[in-house]
Amino acid sequence: MRLTRAGEYAIRCMVYLAFKGKGVLVVKQEIAVQTDIPSPFLAKIAQDLARAHLIEIRQGPKGGYVLMKDPAQITLLEVVEVMIGKIQLNDCVGRPATCAASARCRVHKVWEDASSQLRQHLAGITFAELCRDESCLPVFSVHNKKI
Protein backbone atom coordinates (compact mmCIF):
# COMPACT_ATOMS: atom_id res chain seq x y z
CA MET A 1 0.00 0.00 0.00
CA ARG A 2 1.32 3.41 -0.96
CA LEU A 3 -0.47 6.68 -0.36
CA THR A 4 -0.96 8.39 -3.70
CA ARG A 5 -0.40 12.06 -4.36
CA ALA A 6 -4.18 12.45 -4.56
CA GLY A 7 -4.47 10.85 -1.13
CA GLU A 8 -1.82 13.13 0.33
CA TYR A 9 -3.46 16.21 -1.19
CA ALA A 10 -6.89 15.12 0.06
CA ILE A 11 -5.48 14.90 3.58
CA ARG A 12 -3.93 18.37 3.26
CA CYS A 13 -7.23 19.78 2.02
CA MET A 14 -9.20 18.14 4.82
CA VAL A 15 -6.75 19.30 7.51
CA TYR A 16 -7.08 22.87 6.23
CA LEU A 17 -10.89 22.68 6.10
CA ALA A 18 -11.00 21.03 9.53
CA PHE A 19 -8.89 23.84 10.95
CA LYS A 20 -11.38 26.36 9.50
CA GLY A 21 -14.29 24.35 10.94
CA LYS A 22 -17.49 22.60 9.95
CA GLY A 23 -19.80 24.69 7.80
CA VAL A 24 -17.21 27.37 6.97
CA LEU A 25 -16.95 28.30 3.28
CA VAL A 26 -13.32 28.40 2.17
CA VAL A 27 -12.36 29.68 -1.27
CA LYS A 28 -10.70 27.06 -3.48
CA GLN A 29 -7.73 29.30 -4.29
CA GLU A 30 -7.02 29.86 -0.59
CA ILE A 31 -6.83 26.12 -0.01
CA ALA A 32 -4.67 25.60 -3.10
CA VAL A 33 -2.17 28.28 -2.07
CA GLN A 34 -2.03 27.47 1.64
CA THR A 35 -1.67 23.71 1.14
CA ASP A 36 0.47 23.83 -2.00
CA ILE A 37 -2.00 21.80 -4.07
CA PRO A 38 -2.28 22.63 -7.78
CA SER A 39 -5.74 24.15 -8.31
CA PRO A 40 -6.88 21.72 -11.06
CA PHE A 41 -5.79 18.77 -8.91
CA LEU A 42 -7.65 20.23 -5.92
CA ALA A 43 -10.84 20.43 -8.00
CA LYS A 44 -10.58 16.72 -8.84
CA ILE A 45 -9.89 15.76 -5.23
CA ALA A 46 -12.80 17.90 -4.05
CA GLN A 47 -15.15 15.94 -6.30
CA ASP A 48 -14.11 12.68 -4.63
CA LEU A 49 -14.49 14.21 -1.15
CA ALA A 50 -17.90 15.64 -2.09
CA ARG A 51 -19.10 12.25 -3.40
CA ALA A 52 -18.16 10.84 0.01
CA HIS A 53 -20.26 13.60 1.67
CA LEU A 54 -17.25 15.00 3.51
CA ILE A 55 -17.37 18.39 1.81
CA GLU A 56 -19.80 20.42 -0.24
CA ILE A 57 -18.68 22.22 -3.37
CA ARG A 58 -20.29 25.62 -3.88
CA GLN A 59 -20.01 27.08 -7.36
CA GLY A 60 -19.90 30.71 -8.47
CA PRO A 61 -17.99 33.85 -7.59
CA LYS A 62 -18.65 33.34 -3.87
CA GLY A 63 -18.04 29.62 -4.11
CA GLY A 64 -15.60 27.28 -2.49
CA TYR A 65 -15.58 24.23 -0.28
CA VAL A 66 -17.43 23.58 2.97
CA LEU A 67 -16.63 20.84 5.47
CA MET A 68 -19.88 18.93 6.04
CA LYS A 69 -18.99 16.94 9.15
CA ASP A 70 -17.49 17.75 12.51
CA PRO A 71 -13.70 17.18 12.23
CA ALA A 72 -13.93 14.94 15.31
CA GLN A 73 -16.18 12.62 13.28
CA ILE A 74 -13.85 12.28 10.27
CA THR A 75 -10.99 9.82 10.49
CA LEU A 76 -7.77 9.65 8.57
CA LEU A 77 -8.81 6.17 7.44
CA GLU A 78 -12.03 7.52 5.93
CA VAL A 79 -10.24 10.09 3.79
CA VAL A 80 -7.42 7.74 2.75
CA GLU A 81 -9.90 5.07 1.69
CA VAL A 82 -12.05 7.58 -0.22
CA MET A 83 -8.99 8.33 -2.31
CA ILE A 84 -7.26 4.94 -2.69
CA GLY A 85 -9.86 2.34 -1.76
CA LYS A 86 -9.71 -0.11 1.11
CA ILE A 87 -6.24 -0.44 2.57
CA GLN A 88 -4.70 -3.86 2.02
CA LEU A 89 -1.03 -4.64 2.03
CA ASN A 90 -1.23 -7.44 -0.51
CA ASP A 91 -3.69 -8.47 -3.24
CA CYS A 92 -4.32 -11.78 -1.51
CA VAL A 93 -5.83 -9.96 1.48
CA GLY A 94 -8.48 -8.16 -0.55
CA ARG A 95 -8.95 -10.89 -3.13
CA PRO A 96 -7.97 -14.28 -1.67
CA ALA A 97 -9.36 -16.05 -4.75
CA THR A 98 -6.52 -14.57 -6.82
CA CYS A 99 -4.01 -16.68 -4.92
CA ALA A 100 -4.39 -20.45 -4.81
CA ALA A 101 -2.15 -20.59 -1.73
CA SER A 102 -4.08 -18.04 0.42
CA ALA A 103 -5.84 -20.64 2.56
CA ARG A 104 -2.61 -22.37 3.58
CA CYS A 105 -0.07 -19.56 3.18
CA ARG A 106 1.67 -18.57 6.41
CA VAL A 107 2.37 -15.06 5.15
CA HIS A 108 -1.27 -14.40 4.19
CA LYS A 109 -2.26 -14.15 7.87
CA VAL A 110 0.62 -11.72 8.50
CA TRP A 111 -0.57 -9.42 5.66
CA GLU A 112 -4.15 -9.71 6.88
CA ASP A 113 -3.22 -8.77 10.47
CA ALA A 114 -0.92 -5.93 9.40
CA SER A 115 -3.62 -4.47 7.12
CA SER A 116 -6.14 -4.68 9.93
CA GLN A 117 -3.78 -3.00 12.41
CA LEU A 118 -3.00 -0.17 10.00
CA ARG A 119 -6.71 0.40 9.31
CA GLN A 120 -7.47 0.42 13.06
CA HIS A 121 -4.67 2.90 13.74
CA LEU A 122 -5.83 5.31 11.01
CA ALA A 123 -9.46 4.92 12.15
CA GLY A 124 -8.39 6.17 15.58
CA ILE A 125 -7.02 9.48 14.27
CA THR A 126 -9.52 12.27 13.64
CA PHE A 127 -9.09 15.51 11.78
CA ALA A 128 -9.90 17.37 15.00
CA GLU A 129 -6.75 15.82 16.48
CA LEU A 130 -4.70 16.65 13.39
CA CYS A 131 -5.54 20.36 13.51
CA ARG A 132 -5.74 21.24 17.19
CA ASP A 133 -3.86 24.49 16.61
CA GLU A 134 -2.30 26.56 13.84
CA SER A 135 0.88 24.49 13.93
CA CYS A 136 -0.83 22.01 11.59
CA LEU A 137 -0.98 24.54 8.76
CA PRO A 138 2.71 25.28 8.07
CA VAL A 139 3.39 21.54 7.88
CA PHE A 140 1.68 21.55 4.51
CA SER A 141 2.10 25.14 3.42
CA VAL A 142 5.20 25.91 1.44
CA HIS A 143 3.93 29.38 0.60
CA ASN A 144 2.00 30.25 3.78
CA LYS A 145 0.69 33.33 1.97
CA LYS A 146 -2.14 35.55 3.07
CA ILE A 147 -5.09 35.49 0.68
Which fold would CATH assign to domain 5-140?
Arc Repressor Mutant, subunit A (1.10.10)
Rounded distance, CA 53 to CA 98, Å? Answer: 32
Beta bridge partners, 57, equal: 65
Please give the single-letter amino acid code of residue 77. Answer: L
- pLDDT attached to residue 102: 63
User: Looking at 8-22, 80-94, 131-145, which range is the least confident one?
Assistant: 131-145
Starting at the edge strand found earlier in the chain, the sheet holding 64-67 runs 25-26, 64-67, 55-58
At 123, the pLDDT band (50, 70, 90 cuts) reads very high
Question: So where are the chain's domains?
Answer: 5-140
Mean confidence (pLDDT) of the chain: 86
Rounded distance, CA 145 to CA 147, Å? Answer: 6
Q: Answer whether residue 141 shows pLDDT above 70.
A: no
Beta bridge partners, 75, equal: 126
